[in-house]
Each structure stands twice: as C-alpha cells, then as structure tokens.
Amino acid sequence: MSVHRIMGLETEYGISVPGHPTMNAMVTSSQIVNAYAYAIAAPGTGKPRWDYDEESPLRDARGFDMSRAEADPSQLTDEDLGLANVILPNGARLYVDHAHPEYSTPEVTNPRDAVLWDRAGVEVMNVAARAAASAPAGQQILLYKNNTDNKGASYGCHENYLMRRSTPFSDVVRHLTPFFISRQVFTGAGRLGIGQDGRTSRYQLSQRADFFEVEVGLETTLKRPIINTRDEPHADPEKYRRLHVIVGDANLSDTATYLKMGTTAIVLSMIEDGALGFDAMPLEPVAEMHRVSHDLDLQHGITLTGGRTWTAVAMQKAFLERAWDYCDSRWGSQYDEQTKDVLTKWGAHLDALETDRSLVADTVDWVAKLALLDGYVHRDKLEWDDARLALVDLQYSDIRPDRGLAVRLEQRGRLVRMFDDETVRRACENAPTDTRAYFRGECMRRFPESVAAASWDSVVFDLPDRETLLRVPTLEPTRGTRDHVGHLLDQAQDASALIDALTES
C-alpha cells in the first residue's frame, strides 16, 4: 500500500465568548452544534442520535480491557450524556466533546481528501458560529483551530488510520515513537509558551508536545501517551485496527495537514510490510518530544537507545530514504502520483528546514506564525512576554475569514491553499464517494426522517412498515461507496424501498 488507506481527522475547537470569561463551555459548545443542526435540517424532520452500541473505548491494543471503574470519565465516550450530537450529510460527525465542539471528518482514502474534508470542518464551524449569533438571544462565539488555552488545558486534533490487525503492535510502538517525535518539524502549529501552562514566554514548534507525559497508554486527556492504545476499529475487528493518533497539532496550513497524513500513511505501510529495517527509538521518548519542540534551530540531537544521536530532521530523512526505497521496490516507476507527491514534498520540506526555513513559511504553520511574531517584535520593539504577542498567537488560529491571521495569510498568497471556496462548500454538503461515508451521508440527505441513529459502522432506520428499528451494518469502510450503492439510492423512492433493494442485492 502507499499513502492510500482509510483515514480521518477529529478536531476539537477552542471556544470563547467575548465579555464572558466564565461562560459554561459545554453549554456554549452545544449552542454551536445545535445551531448548525437547525441550519441544515430539513423541515419537519427530527435529529437522529449517535449510535453508541458498537463502541468500545476501553479496549486496549495490548490485549486487555480497562475496567469502567478504573477509567477516567473522559474515556467513557460510549455513553450518551445528552450533549449535542449531529450526523451531517457529508458523512461527518459534529458534536460536543466535553468542553469543546468537535468535527470528525468522514472516512476518506487519501491525504488530499483528508485535507479537503478537514477544511470543510472549518467552514461548518464558521456557519455554526454565525447561526448561533443570529439566533434569538444569540451571542457572538469565537472558535479557534488550536490546541491549548495556554492556561494548562489542551484539546486534541486526532488522526485515525485503518491498518492490518495482523501487524504486531510492538512494531507500531517501536517505529512510530521516533517518527512522531521528529515529525514535529513540519507538522507543528507553533506556540508561544513553554510548559503546559505556557508560563515561560518562548516559542516552540508544537502546541501539543508539552502535554505528553508517558510513552504508551490508553488515555487521551490524562497522562497523554505518545502512542495511544485505544483498540476501537469501527470496522471488522478481525481484519482491522484503527490507529488513534493524538500527538498531532491542529494545522491551519493545508500542506502541513497533507504531509502529516501522507507521511504517516506511508510509514504505516512500511511497518505493516516489515520494510523499515532500522531502529531509532529515543532513550527518553517523552523528554525528547518536549526537547524537539523547544528547539527552533532544529539542531538538538535526540539520543537513541543505542547511544548515537540524530537531529529530528536527520531522523525524518532516514524515514524518507526508506520510504523511497520501499515504494521503488514495490512499484518501480509506476506508483501513484499522490504517493510520489507526498514523498517529493516531504523531502523538499526537510531540505528547506535544514538550510533556510523561510522557504517553507507558506506551508509550515510554526514557521509562518513565527515570521508574524518576529515582525511584531522588530517593528514595535516588543519583548517576547508582551501580551500583544500572545494575542497574535491566538489570532493565528481564529477561523473567522475577516479576523484570523492564517486566513489573512492565505488571502494574500502567503500560506498555500489546496482548495478553493466552492470545492470546500461542496465537501460540506457531500460525502466522499469512495468510502462507506457515502452511504451514511446520502441516507442523511435523502431520508432524514427515516434515520433514527447512525455511527461509523452502522445506520439505523425507523420505518413505518417495520415493527422494530432496522440496523444496516457498515463494517467494511470500502463498501457503501457510490459505485457500490449509488444506483440503489438513486432508484429508491423512500427508505423502505432502499432497505428492500439492499436486502435483495
């Protein structure tokens, strides 16, 4: 395999209400989600619930289940807490995850589509914020695509990759630990502040790095691990494992997201095929996660278990070299263009970061943001602990088209954008056609009155001619595509006819 595999992103957005610093974040997040639900709802239809029946958040990839008594409440994501939760016509999920509105993209098959439907999430959040403000007794709610409030709290941008169940999890840990620690050089979103509370006014590569405390574990909000062991595939568990990656930043740069997803997909393919052939495990993984993020010059030597040292860029170049060899050995010159593009851009970014990082100021978030901050420091002769710089840091992640600094950079051609507005709007309304998200999204679009619930691996129908609810399983992510079920959907006059056609096919 190459960069092509089932993947997706989950992004929790920072939230605030101007003039109300003590606002209830759960209530405000619910306002955002419900506002969007009402904005897109068909007249006279209800709101399908999220189907939690098949979820198993306490199953550990190391071969055991954590007890519910032992788990932190934040880990019990299979409980319906009555918070706002919406299934969208593009196959995505928009819901309240504790204190934040979260957008989970539909399943896609490649990093380019991951970028597109992630950008659709930004547009969804902008529409939701405008709808919430215009509602009766509504208020302005600001949303930020970032990862920390710089007061000790962090919220995630999680990646998900479907991989072979047969791959030993020990191989995943051994190879992905150094990869994740070193990939910060091009995936970091940049942060002004060191430590979880951001009290030290220095700049670093990543917004998430300082919040990781252990090497491997099941948790996502406490004792955060570099390698998360949640074993909840949302697919056939005999065939698949879903790798749940929690170390990444929420990127504003399309290219950074593209490289984050694409390079990780290639490395996973090499792990599955046993093709890496080198061991780069750091001696102190958690400490190195922090040190790499704090090193703006990219000169820090990561000490490996064997005693040698590698910079993060050198480590990434080692992964890249193996990736070229791996692809060449399997496909020669015939491998797909997107895989070749990811490999080429990966190498070009590493070369630029090693020689002149200004060359990637239009594609790497931490470099773009640092250039903005440097500009203010030199123009206004500011110290790095000046409160105005903290506002610039925050404003970079503001998603409003007229206020966000990353958006402004895009508008001026100083941050590369991969998709135009119309393409993004279509992705807000339409699911990818090459995964099961197509079936889920089209059912929500065509028959919203008949969908009682849905999840990643099922759609539950409530039909007037059936005595009980009817669950249609979608355990195989590559089925339920337009090629697979599009003709059945087009021929069905209603949900009952669709179910009859599915039963007969």
Active site residues: 97
Query: What kind and span of H or E run contains 421?
Result: helix 421-429
Q: DSSP code of 279?
A: -
Q: Give the bridge partners for 392, in sequence order.
A: none
Q: Please, are residues 272 and 187 in contact by the beta-carbon 8 Å criterion?
A: no
Q: How far is CA 503 from CA 66, 303, 421, in A?
A: 38, 58, 39
All residues at 6 or more sequence positions from 294 whose CB lies less than 8 Å from its CB, including other chains: 194, 202, 204, 205, 300
- Rounded Cα–Cα distance for residues 185 and 331 (Å): 29
Q: What angle do CA 291, 219, 75 make, to 5 degrees?
A: 145
The rounded radius of gyration (Å) of the Cα atoms in the chain is: 22
One-letter amino acid at 14 equals G
Tell me how crowded residue 235 is: count the other CB atoms within 10 A of its CB: 22
One-letter amino acid at 130 equals R
Query: What kind and span of H or E run contains 368?
Result: helix 365-380
Query: What kind and span of H or E run contains 202?
Result: strand 200-204
- Rounded Cα–Cα distance for residues 369 and 177 (Å): 26
Helix (H, G, I), strand (E, B) or coil at 65: strand
